[in-house]
Structure 1
Amino acid sequence: MKRTEGIFQHFAPDERGFVEKMMDICQQVEETYSYHLTSFLNPREEEILQSLAGYFHLKLFSSRQIIATEFIRVIVAPDYYLLNEEDFDIMALEICYPRKFHQLSHAQVLGTLLNQLGIRREFIGDILVGDEQLFVILDRKFGDLAKSTVSKISRVPVTWKDYTLSQLPIGANQDYKSYQVLVSSLRLDKLIAIGFKLSRSHALKLIESGQVKVNYKEVKQAGKTLDIGHLISVRGFGRLKLKEFLGFSKQGKLKLEIEIIKK
């Protein structure tokens, strides 16, 4: 068995629980010589698992090989394993409802599935909100459960339709709204304040109380400087992505294009 005492120094303290869980999976695969399927992982969790799998000399296969989603499932496997796409155990469902009269959001779909199915977030992948269709990707056993038990989302009657993963549209999510903003710097607290129309003091409280993540990692430094492409998640408010730097205003402020999805 490999010595693992020094591994934790490479990760943030709040990531220790996840690192331990992934180490257990890697050790199990190493010892039993059989593959293991993870729940849905965000990009930061995927990065951690890739690092650990390299230490254990194991192979990784991602569901992103089928469809390029934000949340993925990963197969951790020994050398002999050959990929079978069915092993990802993923189901894609279209949520059908009367769009002429209603509009369902990402948050409404996620909240209904978590509450009515009684499951954790890790068993649900991406929720794709398109102009004409709405899809959800989730663990197959819970997909079957959703089809048989969930008939309404936010009081809107819904039906479910199986869909082929390779045919899913994964373009822009209409829940995201693009804005152009002016900021004096790329400080975390300033971006939260302007993005969600909060006071700087409110933004500071959210950061210091552990309600904010940057690229899926908790950050408590209000003065942290971000870069284009970074994703900010604020519990109870939504997510903000720094999409593009557009230049400087006449007053010397930074002109940015940001994308926001509200809770």
Structure 2
Amino acid sequence: MSIYEHFRPEERALIDHFLDLIDQVSQRYIPRLTDFMDPRQQTILRSLIGKNDAVHLSIFGGYEHAERARALLLPPYFEPDSDPFDLAYLDVRYPAKFGSVTHPELLGALLGSGISRNKIGDLLIGEEAAQFICVKELEPYFMLHLTSVGKLSVSCRPILPKNLLHTADGWTYSEGTVSSLRLDTLLSEIYHLPRVKASEAIARGLAKVNWEIVEKRNFDIREGDVISLRGHGRSKIISCGGLTKKNKIRLQYGRLN
């Protein structure tokens, strides 16, 4: 059985990239540090490494519950640097009396400067406060060039990790039944929407599976997938299997509070 059969076809390029990194570490003893990955990418990398004793894997995004994180792949007996993940922590300062910074606005400003998303970690938004994590080499760039977010003038300054705004994610778990594992069917079940509304949202590009926009209402959802619908939050599929007497699929899922 090919290793690719365990993953979706669109993930093949990513798998090839990870396999190359693993080969560099295990065969040529070269340490490798990835860019920021979303949780789905982290899961794929962990799966590919498995119990490979020739590769030591560490994943970190700046704090314990970080969603986006970098992976450090090391050969056995290799001693990492004191700060092996090369992260920068930046506080976005702005005049709160004139408005506030939102997550979409901050992300838009960061990406609008021409920086790739995989160079940026979590964005942390609090009351009258905004912060973000990025690769260390971009710290001076953002301190110099990030001067506006939305309509607000801003400035950046480095902070210590202990001063980050963050809380542990909270999930609420539920069970249900569905007639199929199509995306529109699961959105309807999880977010209590008429199926036609779920289909319309998918067609408008409002639904994501594993952090990628999906516009096919019949997209097949699998156990472990993370689904989000704009305006309704994020959910994850814990398990899907077993049939009821009416031939419906038993579903366990979590919703992010």
TM over 0.5: yes
Relative to structure 1, is the Cα distance of residues 46 and 76 closer, same or farther in structure 2, using a 3 angstrom cutoff?
same
Q: Deviations over 1:91-143 (max 9, x none)?
A: 01010111122111111001111111x12111110000112421100111222
The Cα of 1:222 is off from its aligned counterpart by 4.6
Relative to structure 1, is the Cα distance of residues 88 and 192 closer, same or farther in structure 2, using a 3 angstrom cutoff?
same
Matched, 1:150 2:146: yes
Matched, 1:105 2:107: no
Aligned match for 2:4, one of 8, 11, 20: 8
Quote the Cα distance in structure 2 between the aligned partners of 1:202 and 1:72: 34
Quote the Cα distance in structure 2 between the aligned partners of 1:16 and 1:209: 26
Aligned match for 1:241, one of 234, 238, 243: 234
The Cα of 1:48 is off from its aligned counterpart by 0.8
The Cα of 1:14 is off from its aligned counterpart by 1.3
Quote the Cα distance in structure 1 between the aligned partners of 2:256 and 2:9: 29
The Cα of 1:162 is off from its aligned counterpart by 0.8
Q: Structure 2 length as normaliser, TM-score? A: 0.74
The Cα of 1:13 is off from its aligned counterpart by 0.8
Q: Deviations over 1:137-159 (max 9, x none)?
A: 01112222111111111120111
Aligned match for 1:23, one of 19, 26, 32: 19
Name which of structure 1's ranges 120-129 and 206-215 shifts more when overlaid on structure 2: 206-215
Q: Please tell me whether the aligned partners of residues 108 and 153 of structure 1 are also in contact (alpha carbons under 8 angstroms).
A: yes
Mapping for residues 156-175 of structure 1, pairs under 5 Å:
156-171=152-167
How many matched pairs?
234
Q: Please tell me whether the aligned partners of residues 62 and 73 of structure 1 are also in contact (alpha carbons under 8 angstroms).
A: yes
The Cα of 1:232 is off from its aligned counterpart by 2.1
Mapping for residues 211-226 of structure 1, pairs under 5 Å:
212-216=207-211, 220=216, 222=218
Quote the Cα distance in structure 1 between the aligned partners of 2:256 and 2:63: 26
Quote the Cα distance in structure 2 between the aligned partners of 1:14 and 1:225: 14
- What letter matches 2:21 in structure 1? I
Matched, 1:204 2:209: no
Give unpaired runs (5+ residues) of structure 1: 244-255
The Cα of 1:12 is off from its aligned counterpart by 1.1
What value does the CA root-mean-square deviation take over the aligned residues?
A: 3.9
Quote the Cα distance in structure 1 between the aligned partners of 2:200 and 2:232: 17
Determine the structure 2 residue equivalent to 1:248. none
The Cα of 1:160 is off from its aligned counterpart by 1.1
Quote the Cα distance in structure 1 between the aligned partners of 2:219 and 2:47: 29
The Cα of 1:193 is off from its aligned counterpart by 6.3
The Cα of 1:44 is off from its aligned counterpart by 1.0
Q: Deviations over 1:33-61 (max 9, x none)?
A: 12101000111111111122236531111
Determine the structure 1 residue equivalent to 2:242. none
Relative to structure 1, is the Cα distance of residues 213 and 25 closer, same or farther in structure 2, using a 3 angstrom cutoff?
same
Q: Please tell me whether the aligned partners of residues 33 and 78 of structure 1 are also in contact (alpha carbons under 8 angstroms).
A: yes
**3-state SS, counterpart of residue 84 of structure 2:** helix
**3-state SS, counterpart of residue 133 of structure 2:** strand
**3-state SS, counterpart of residue 171 of structure 1:** coil
Name which of structure 1's ranges 57-66 and 198-207 shifts more when overlaid on structure 2: 198-207
Determine the structure 1 residue equivalent to 2:91. 94
Aligned match for 1:140, one of 136, 140, 149: 136
Quote the Cα distance in structure 1 between the aligned partners of 2:157 and 2:232: 29
Relative to structure 1, is the Cα distance of residues 131 and 114 closer, same or farther in structure 2, using a 3 angstrom cutoff?
same
Quote the Cα distance in structure 1 between the aligned partners of 2:103 and 2:23: 36
Give unpaired runs (5+ residues) of structure 2: 237-252
